[in-house]
Amino acid sequence: MKYTNAKKILPEKLILEIQQYVQGETIYIPKQQKEYQHWGSLSGGRQWLDQRNAEIRQAYKNNNSIEQLAEDYFLSIETIKKIVYSGNNSERN
Q: How far is it, in rounded angstroms, from Cα 1 to Cα 91?
A: 45
Enter the pTM of the model.
0.56
Q: Residue 69: how many CB atoms within 10 A of its CB?
A: 21
Nearest of 83, 45, 89 to residue 72 by alpha carbon: 83
Q: What's the pLDDT score for residue 88?
A: 52
* Averaged pLDDT in 10-residue chunks for the chain of 93 residues: 87 94 89 79 89 96 97 97 76 43
Q: What's the pLDDT score for residue 92?
A: 43
Q: What's the pLDDT score for residue 90?
A: 40
Measured over all CA atoms, what is the biggest interatomic distance in the chain, rounded to whole angstroms? 68
